[in-house]
Amino acid sequence: MNDLTPTVRERFQRWLDKTTPGDGVREELERLRGMLETERRDEAASAIHEAFYRELEFGTGGLRGILGAGTDRMNIYTIGKVTQGLADYVLKHYPDDPSVAISCDTRIMSTEFACTSARILASNGIRVYIYPGPAPTPMLSFAVRYHKAKAGIMVTASHNPSSYNGYKVYNDEGCQLTNEAADEVLEHIRRIDPFDDIPWSEVGCTAEGMPVQVKAVDNESASTQTTMTGKENVSVQTNAADNESASTQTTMTGKENASVQTTASDSGSASAKTTAFIETIGAETVDAYHEALLAAGVPMDASDIEIVYTPLNGSALTPVLRVLEDIGVGQVHVVESQREPDGNFPTCPYPNPEKKEALAEGLALCEKLRTPDVLMATDPDGDRIGIAISASGAGWKDADLFTGNEVGILLLDFLCANKPCADDAIVVKTIVTSDMVREIVEHCGLQMREVLTGFKYIGEIIGELEKQGLEDRYFFGFEESYGYLAGSYVRDKDAVNAAMLIAQMVAHHKAQGQTLRDRLTELYDAYGYYVDEVVEFAFEGSAGMTAMADVLARLRSEPPKEFGGSPVVASVDYAHDDTGLPASEVLRYTMANGSGLIVRPSGTEPKLKIYLSAKEGSREASLALTQSMKQGVSAFIE
């Protein structure tokens, strides 16, 4: 191990000494140690360095990283450390009634991480409310609020590739943590030793799905419930609060294999003592979520529309199908190859509904059917949605994909025209979302708030209004990264909500003899041809992180004088300038021709994201301007 730095060598050896055989982590470490003695030693040393050179960063978005062994990887020990830190935070602030709600998506190890988190929290005397199978992010936010939990955990890496997983933390309002709260949780986490400070003997520690014994809540009797865990042999055992006999039923998750078994528990063992604090989230909560969801919609006859839908092997299948049925959609076809939960995402290695590649299976089904009005795709944790329609004159072979900004603009226009709102209703957008929103808001006589990138900031605006008893003023919010929310019932973007609204919007315009593209063209004619585009630069590994930091430092020390042939006339550094918003690693440039450019590191992936915006008299002119800007950015970054 001489090729490793002293810190990396020490961490690697300690993990070898402290991890448990059979946990999946020890086996990977031993494999790497063996490789060090072979001709693959350089490969092993590099892998060990990347896994141990730092600790996985916890921030307002929680954790996100590659699955594997190491301090910079997602595994039961990094999850355990963060969960114990969160437990200490909850016990400090809510000693009288500590509780946490938990959900997960369908990714590899999501169920295991959710179960590990539940047991660690319960071993600390914290009551846990946990969905019996994967459920979308917005349903976690709703569960926090519905059960008055003091925090929430969503195990997901959103739209990242299958090699990733993540862990998002929510506050007692169902919103992702504020900057201040995240900093305090981080201080608790830093005090935790993942091996010595967690009661693993009570928690359990294996690489396979760990059964979690829980009590049924929502005043339901104990029952065997069908779940979607993404693993055929994973079960969640529930204890009947009233000791009634076990029965069998199918839950909202729609999976037919993996089961949730209910048993009465009278054991006095440490395990039983721990699991007495864990309760399943049942149908009452799910029904309440759907009622709130429907109340946020626009009553519309949708019987004449046909939809192709894909959950991309994720967690949103059942709630999306339920709401589309509830609003009376005529026909819904599910992409069969992407229907079932599968964290490997076999037909879609990068399950991001922003990307055409992720929609390929759905587009193929649309081409086969020929008659669908719209294709919808939700990401694995059900908070983002992408759509496409057939192209005019070309059908589905050359489908018309809409950007996140375009869908948000269409939804805002639709809601303004069809949904009653308060005279002082508020629309919220992020700083990287199209400025076309501002013009529509002004035209409709509404108010607009602009926040930093990240839907949690939109959630915070809703929370501020709620504290004043004014939550009905919140009308609509969205961000360019395909996240939308109408209604104040949750505090995060909701793709189930968006699927409902998009279906109602398609039905409305179809009744007018229009496609969505027809309506968007009318809006461009009225407000100007806005074109907004995102350029991404990947920075993988420790070397990539250093290179990305160097780019940002160079932008500050040598500020660009022009982009796309137009001089820079104004710039804002959100980390150091007084913007009225929290400090953030964001740089903004405005050019003399009115175009704009924003630079920020992604909060979820090792990428630098460049947001380009232009407004000209025609779409062609706007596209030409953004293309010119793109070339200038590439030359500067690369």
**For the chain, how many structural domains are there in total?**
4
Residues in Cβ contact with 290 at an 8 Å cutoff, skipping those fewer than 6 apart = 319, 322, 323, 326
75/363 Cα distance (integer angstroms) = 35
Query: How long is the chain?
Result: 638
Calculated CA dihedral for residues 150, 279, 115, 56, nearest 10 degrees: 0
Residue 66 lies in a domain: no
Residues 563 and 464 both lie in one domain: no
C-alpha closest to that of 183 among 169, 197, 165: 169
Could you read off the pLDDT of 292-345 as tens digits, one per residue?
Answer: 999 999 999 999 999 999 999 999 999 999 999 999 999 999 999 999 999 999
Instruction: Give strand ranges (E) for 39-110.
Output: 63-66, 99-104
CA atoms within 13 A on the CB side of 335: 27
Residues 497 and 577 both lie in one domain: no
Please identify, among 519, 550, 582, the residue that sits at the C-terminal boundary of a domain. 519
Residues 125 and 37 both lie in one domain: no
User: Which tokens is 549 given?
Assistant: 């930091």
Type of residue found at 135: A
> CA angle, 389 as apex, 383 and 390 as ends, to 5°?
155
Residues 214 and 250 both lie in one domain: yes
Residues 501 and 544 both lie in one domain: no
Contact yes or no for 111/203 (Cβ under 8 A): no
Residue 376 lies in a domain: yes
Phi and psi torsions of 52, nearest 5°? -125, 0
515/518 Cα distance (integer angstroms) = 5
Residues 448 and 539 both lie in one domain: no
Q: How far is CA 42 from CA 39, 45, 48, 107, 201, in A?
A: 8, 5, 10, 30, 36
Could you read off the pLDDT of 23-52 as tens digits, one per residue?
Answer: 899 999 999 999 999 999 999 999 999 999
C-alpha closest to that of 635 among 570, 545, 564: 564
Could you read off the pLDDT of 166-201 as tens digits, one per residue?
Answer: 999 999 999 999 999 999 999 999 999 999 999 776
Contact yes or no for 485/478 (Cβ under 8 A): yes
Residues 168 and 303 both lie in one domain: no
Rg of the chain in Å (alpha carbons): 25
Residue 262 lies in a domain: yes
Contact yes or no for 77/19 (Cβ under 8 A): yes
396/583 Cα distance (integer angstroms) = 44
311/327 Cα distance (integer angstroms) = 19
156/287 Cα distance (integer angstroms) = 23
User: Which tokens is 560 given?
Assistant: 């660009």
CA atoms within 13 A on the CB side of 533: 17
Please identify, among 519, 551, 569, the residue that sits at the C-terminal boundary of a domain. 519
Residues 250 and 374 both lie in one domain: no
CA atoms within 13 A on the CB side of 346: 8
Map residue 432 onto helix, strand or coil: coil
Phi and psi torsions of 176, nearest 5°? -60, 150
C-alpha closest to that of 496 among 134, 227, 143, 139: 139
Residues 278 and 301 both lie in one domain: no
Residue 60 lies in a domain: no
Please identify, among 519, 547, 579, the residue that sits at the C-terminal boundary of a domain. 519
C-alpha closest to that of 290 among 561, 497, 30, 458: 497
Q: What does the DSSP 8-state code read for residue 174?
A: S
| Pairing of the two strands 374-378 and 306-310 | parallel
Q: What does the DSSP 8-state code read for residue 77?
A: H
Contact yes or no for 260/228 (Cβ under 8 A): no
User: What phi-psi label fits residue 207: left (phi over 0), alpha (psi between -120 and 50 degrees) or beta?
Assistant: alpha
| Pairing of the two strands 278-280 and 127-130 | parallel
Domain span at 32: 1-53
Map residue 112 onto helix, strand or coil: helix
579 alpha carbon, distance to own chain's centre: 27
Residue 245 lies in a domain: yes
Q: What is the pLDDT of residue 603?
A: 73
Q: How far is CA 70 from CA 37, 49, 113, 633, in A?
A: 20, 9, 15, 35
The residues of the chain scoring below 70 in pLDDT are 1-2, 201-276
CATH of the domain at 341: 3.40.120.10
| Pairing of the two strands 426-430 and 385-391 | unpaired
In which residue are the tokens 């470490």 written?
29
Residues 508 and 540 both lie in one domain: no
Residue 291 lies in a domain: no
Q: What is the pLDDT of residue 307?
A: 98
Residue 231 lies in a domain: yes
Q: How far is CA 73 from CA 66, 207, 304, 528, 614, in A?
A: 5, 15, 48, 46, 39
CATH of the domain at 544: 3.30.310.50
Residues 29 and 120 both lie in one domain: no
223/244 Cα distance (integer angstroms) = 9
Residues designated as active site = 158
124/130 Cα distance (integer angstroms) = 16
Residues 200 and 325 both lie in one domain: no
Q: What is the pLDDT of residue 631?
A: 84
User: Which tokens is 269 given?
Assistant: 């063992």
Residues in Cβ contact with 512 at an 8 Å cutoff, skipping those fewer than 6 apart = none
Q: What does the DSSP 8-state code read for residue 196?
A: T
Residue 600 lies in a domain: yes
Contact yes or no for 36/1 (Cβ under 8 A): yes
Q: What is the pLDDT of residue 271?
A: 58
Q: What does the DSSP 8-state code read for residue 59?
A: B
